[in-house]
Amino acid sequence: VLIDAGSGSSLNYEKSGANLTDLKVVAFSHFHVDHSADFAALVKASYFAQRNQDLIVLGPEGNDIMPSTTEFINRLFARKGVFAYLSEYVDTEQSGRFKIRGKSVLLTKHIKQVAYTSNRFVLSAIPVHHGPIPALAWRIDVAGCAITFSGDMSNRFQTLASLAKDSELLIAHNAIPETLQGVGRSLHMAPSEIAKIARQADVKKLILSHRMKRTLGREQETLAM
């Protein structure tokens, strides 16, 4: 499972030693460019990796600002898409080694939804608030353990704690410092909000990710929360 595919994902996937033929699902939290820019590169790399099984792609519904997951895929790879030369991966009339199977997760109910199941893992999502952008947090249950990814979010919907309940690992985005106000605060969680969610969910370990220039160098301030 790959959660998001921002810039550098394709290169770092290769560096990790993972094989693209083993990738079953790509799950998007949302479609801001820093979370989706490398998706096309991953699809093309799958060809060179001799992939021969369909790729499941999950993500949020769309709105007036952002496309739905299926629209995102088609705008990239359909016959009139940005990368139309890769249309064999979405066009059922063309032959190819694999197809991209997209599915949009409903945002109307602020409850946990099982989006994908296999004999090895279960992938669940819940809507989160990221300003006007449709967004999801994701949870993977595998081998008796759970890992939860917040994605970009404020906690206005107060949904993440229920999704992350009893997770072994919560990966939360630390994009803003405690003192930031204004638009940034309406899009992202302050460190104190992250700490509150981790306590409510009783997670075993918390990892702060998506750190930016405005949070780098402020580690002691962040950890104090």
Question: What does the pLDDT look like over 10-64, one tens digit per residue?
Answer: 999 999 999 999 999 999 999 999 999 999 999 999 999 999 999 999 999 999 9
| Domains identified in the chain and CATH numbers | 1-105 (3.60.15.10), 108-225 (3.60.15.10)
Mean pLDDT of the 81-110 span: 93
For 223, the 3-state DSSP assignment is helix
pLDDT tens profile 111-151: 999 999 999 999 999 999 999 999 999 999 999 999 999 99
Residue 225's pLDDT is: 64
Residue 144's pLDDT is: 96
Give the separation between CA 73 and CA 161, rounded to whole angstroms: 30
The model's pTM is 0.95
Question: How does residue 184 score in pLDDT terms, banded at 50, 70 and 90?
Answer: confident
**Among 38-42, 93-97, 100-104, the least confident range:** 93-97
pLDDT tens profile 23-37: 999 999 999 999 999
Give the separation between CA 61 and CA 216, rounded to whole angstroms: 32
224, pLDDT greater than 80: no
Helix/strand/coil percentages in the chain, nearest 5: 30, 25, 45
Residue 109's pLDDT is: 78
pLDDT tens profile 198-223: 999 999 999 999 998 888 888 877 77
- Cα 141 to Cα 18, 48, 125, 145, 148, distances in angstroms: 20, 30, 11, 6, 9
Residue 21's pLDDT is: 95
Residue 108's pLDDT is: 82
Mean pLDDT of the 170-198 span: 93
Residue 213's pLDDT is: 84
Higher pLDDT, 140 or 184: 140
Higher pLDDT, 182 or 117: 117
